[in-house]
Amino acid sequence: MRTSTVSVICLSALTLSACAAARSAGEGVDTVRDGFADAATAPLEDLNLRRDAIPTVLLQAQAAPYDQRNLQRCPAIAAEVRRLDDALGPDLDEPPRQDGSLNSEIAADAAASATLDAIRDTTTDFIPLRSWVRRLTGAEQHSRQVQAAIQAGRQRRAFLKGMGMQRNCAPPAAPSWFTPRRN
């Protein structure tokens, strides 16, 4: 009786893990399908026929990285940091999110990313003298503008978190490791 119970439990566990792996593979296929159009049309960026807009919060950070207007209180600083987080992704001081992903899901995401990178590389490789084409079409200049805006946004976020620490604010208005002093 005991052996059959253990067998049923093991069989159930194997079935569930197989279902999870199949679901992960299916999600990986969905990721490739969703990103295929962007990867396949990557040459349009090189020819400067398609551009991603720079988020407004990054343009504002570029124009005035140390602006302190309307940032006297912790909630205002936290709101501005969140806006930058939305545009830039998590800051370096943030621990990686534990989303409960299974190893099979992580592997499926990695495989999907590698596939999309290969498609993007293949579609851009056919452009002869690609670096010159990017320069002549203005795509290289736009890429530099995007990188400058990202750098300004990171700089502003660091400045705001420093301001938050100075004002004894809790995260996200300060780094995640900062603990406000009790008054």
- For 5-44, write each residue's pLDDT tens digit: 444 344 444 444 444 444 444 555 666 566 555 655 555 5
DSSP 61-117: HHH-TT--TT-SSHHHHHHHHHHHHHHH-S-TTSPPP-----HHHHHHHHHHHHHHH
> Structural domain tally of the chain?
1
Residue 144 has pLDDT above 80, yes or no: yes
In a domain, 22, yes or no: no
In a domain, 140, yes or no: yes
| Low-confidence winner among 128-132, 165-169, 175-179 (lowest mean pLDDT) | 128-132
The three-state secondary structure class of 22 is helix
Distances (CA, A) of 99 to 105, 106, 171: 11, 11, 20
Residue 90 has pLDDT above 70, yes or no: yes
What's residue 12's pLDDT? 42
In this prediction the pTM is 0.61
- What is the domain range of residue 113? 28-93+103-166
Distance from C-alpha of 42 to C-alpha of 39, rounded to nearest angstrom: 5
Tokens of 109: 């995401």
Average pLDDT over every residue of 56-61: 94
Average pLDDT over every residue of 40-58: 69
* DSSP 8-state secondary structure symbol assigned to residue 170: P
In a domain, 57, yes or no: yes
Distance from C-alpha of 174 to C-alpha of 91, rounded to nearest angstrom: 11
Tokens of 147: 């990188």
Provide the terminal-to-terminal Cα distance of the chain, rounded to the nearest Å.
64
Check residues 15 and 103 and name the one with the higher pLDDT.
103
Q: Are 164 and 174 in contact (CB under 8 A)?
A: yes
